[in-house]
Amino acid sequence: MWNKENLLLYAVTDRRCLCGRTLTDVVRESLDGGVTFVQFREKQLERAQFVEEAKGLKQLCREYGVPFVINDYVGIAAEVNADGVHVGQDDMAVGDARAQLGPDKMIGVSAQTVEQAIRAENLGASYLGVGAVFPTTSKEDAVDVSFATLKAICEAVTIPVIAIGGITRENVQQLSGSGICGVAAINAIYAQPDIQQAARRLKAAVKAAVQP
């Protein structure tokens, strides 16, 4: 079971940030720092290695009571019994993902417009990831989303909304009043020298930003 509080600090993995460490080690550090949700995002792994790492990360997240979802690969999410999947506008349709995973799994959907957000909710999305709200180097094709659009999306849907894209401890307060329930981050957590401390400090800043 999960609720919108699990979306407060949503960590997205990035193998480029490992610096010789294992993915399990850095994710554990982030969980120790208070990460509340983990998305396994990999674009370059062979399928067998992807499945192996996904199983290990799922078990790790279970230990911490934190939801674990897989980016894009619905079939693998079903195979490893992840808590769900996150898909983009160009990935598998929400309805198809729901059909494969069943009614109890989480399906997150990326959205950049009010129309996309409403459509995703109508098709059965569990939550939305909206961005990029700030300039980002993590996704080359990221679309800029203004504060006004972010707020409009939050007002247009009833499912939880998180912001993503270039979010840091220093700029997250600029999202206050938008209606989001949390943020997703990659570099602000995993590219930092002390991942646990970075997660802890970012979480505190996000809490302050999303308080009503």
- Whether the predicted pLDDT of 43 surpasses 90: no
Query: pTM of the predicted model, to two decimals?
Result: 0.95
Write down the catalytic residue from 28, 30, 41, 178.
Answer: 41
Among the listed residues 139, 151, 169, 200, the single catalytic one is 139
**Catalytic-role residue among 30, 58, 105, 110:** 110
Catalytic status, residue 41: yes
38 contact partners, CB below 8 Å, separation of at least 6: 10, 11, 13, 27, 30, 31, 57, 61, 66, 67, 68, 69
Q: What is the pLDDT of residue 20?
A: 84
pLDDT of residue 44: 85
139 is catalytic: yes
- Residue 141: the pLDDT is 60
